[in-house]
Amino acid sequence: MKAIQVGLLGIGTVGSGTYKVLTRNQEEIRRRAGRAIEITMVADLDVERARSIVGDGIKVVADGREVIANPDIDIVVELIGGYGVAKALVLEAIAAGKHVVTANKALLAVHGNEIFAAAREKGVMVAFEAAVAGGIPIIKALREGLTANRIEWIAGIINGTTNFILSEMRDKGLDFDVVLKEAQRLGYAEADPTFDIEGIDAAHKATVMSAIAFGIPMQFDKAHVEGIVGLQAADIRHAESLGYRIKLLGITRRRADANGIELRVHPTLVPAKRLIANVEGAMNAVVVQADAVGTTLYYGKGAGAEPTASAVVADLVDITRLHTADPDHRVPHLAFRADSLSDTPILPIAQTVTAFYLRLRVADEAGVLSRITTTLAEHDISIDAVLQRPSSDQKAGEQDLIILTHNTVEGKMRTAIAKMQALSTVLAPIVSLRKEDLA
């Protein structure tokens, strides 16, 4: 059978990885797919560098539109990133009747609905395994492996940079700023780490998972996003002594009681005995809770040239296999068919339900604890555990009060925190972190 011809848009880290993996494992892949899959054209602004990677046998151009216009190209792989050129080229490729593979979570989370609608119209596939958790086949697990299930929630470590930073903070007892510098030096964090450390990258990925888990449109603008900037070593230590680890989790949860869906990214206390709490360094892991199968977990490298290429090439093979199936029988882009997407809304953060970890710097005097617990009780917040500790800077007459609560509606907690903050015996801004049991 004739080879499937692939055109790459952008040959940076992931593009080079894809070229390398396809070349190195071409025989293994052909034995599986039944036909060869070959990159026959590459577009990159840096034509020289691109040519130095792929050699002379492959046509290299500066303009992605030449790739799209080539009638021999069956699949266009977009690895440019961002929303600008990438979006335009993906839409043009679709308009030209090409199947598309992309690793671009930002593009999908923000413009996915438009892109998938265009793809449906033209009867082409848009595959995006590489957009979430790198080489872990989590998109496939959600869209195909768990089709029997009503998915209840997903919680994932889906940003390697922040997990590396949190692991180092815990291991070495260091503060955020110090570890970030080290991560940048080691290449685990970019020069401008904003997208990672502020949780935006994780929120893109959580948005994609939320859509395919619950059959709703992409709604990145409704996601609640908090990063790990400002997280203090003291809280990691206290959490540890209470049996918890702090992880930056992307969480999405179906809330039948509120007829809505939670979609949020934030540092989260997780029981130390959970597998996901033990995922260290730059590794990723996603836990999925579903009604028939129960809990499943998927673990692996969430970034890097070859792990991401692994996902890109898996998509290429899938398209090679599925392009002969009638479009109506293919796996729907968003796991659920476009005509049966749900309009269940994303809930505002005030309506989400989690437990909380609070740290209050208080005056070391009689009645303080009583005033605080009374305030919590007045807001229907029940307490799971209380620790009193010398204040982290050892100031006389002050101490740290650490409180774990049971599940509560976030809005009530915010009101209670404001009330407690106003107490004269509360001497510093209250630290609050969400806690999930993930059982």
Residue ranges of the binding site for NADP(+): 9-16
Taking CB under 8 A as the criterion, the residue among 191, 292, 396, 422 binding its own copies is: 292
Q: For the purposes of burial, counting CB atoms within 10 Å of the CB of 367, is it exposed (0-12), middle (13-18) or buried (19 or more)?
A: exposed
The smaller minimum CB distance to its own copies, of residues 254 and 434, is found at: 254
Considering only residues 342 through 371, tell me which ones interact with its own copies, judged by CB under 8 A.
none
Nearer residue to its own copies within complex by CB, 192 or 343:
343
Shortest Cβ 224–its own copies spacing (Å): 26
Q: State how far the Cα of 385 lies from the Cα of 383, in Å rounded to an integer.
A: 6
Amino acid identity of residue 335, one-letter, is A
Contacts of 150 (CB under 8 A, 6+ apart): 254, 290, 291, 292
Q: Binding site for NADPH: residue ranges?
A: 105
**Residue 412 contacts by C-beta under 8 Å, 6 or more apart in sequence?**
379, 380, 381
Residue 79 touching its own copies (CB under 8 A): no
Q: Does 340 bind its own copies (CB under 8 A)?
A: yes
Let me know how long the chain is.
439
Closest to its own copies by CB, 164 vs 176, is 164
Q: Which stretch binds its own copies (CB under 8 A): 94-102, 159-167, 226-234, 307-315?
A: 307-315
Give the contact letters, 92-131, x = binds to its own copies (CB under 8 A), - = no. -------------------------------------x--
Q: Which of residues 26-55 bind its own copies (CB under 8 A)?
A: 28-34
Q: Long-range contacts made by residues 120-123, C-beta under 8 angstroms, separation at least 24?
A: 120/333, 120/338, 122/94, 122/95, 122/97, 123/327
Q: Are 90 and 118 in contact (CB under 8 A)?
A: no
Token output for 188: 């685990």
Active site residue 205: yes
108, 131 in Cβ contact below 8 A? yes
Q: Does 312 bind its own copies (CB under 8 A)?
A: yes
Q: Which of 87, 98, 140, 205 is catalytic?
A: 205
Single residue of 64, 112, 135, 193 touching its own copies by CB under 8 A: 135
Question: Considering the complex, what minimum distance in angstroms separates the CB of residue 16 from its own copies?
Answer: 12
Q: Is residue 14 close enough to count as binding its own copies by CB under 8 A? A: no
Residue 248: in which H helix or E strand, if any?
strand 244-255
Name the token pair of 142: 């959600």
> By the criterion CB under 8 A, which residues form the site for its own copies?
1, 17, 21-22, 24-25, 28-34, 129, 134-137, 140-141, 143-150, 215, 275, 278-279, 290-301, 306-307, 309-314, 317-318, 320-326, 328-332, 335-337, 340
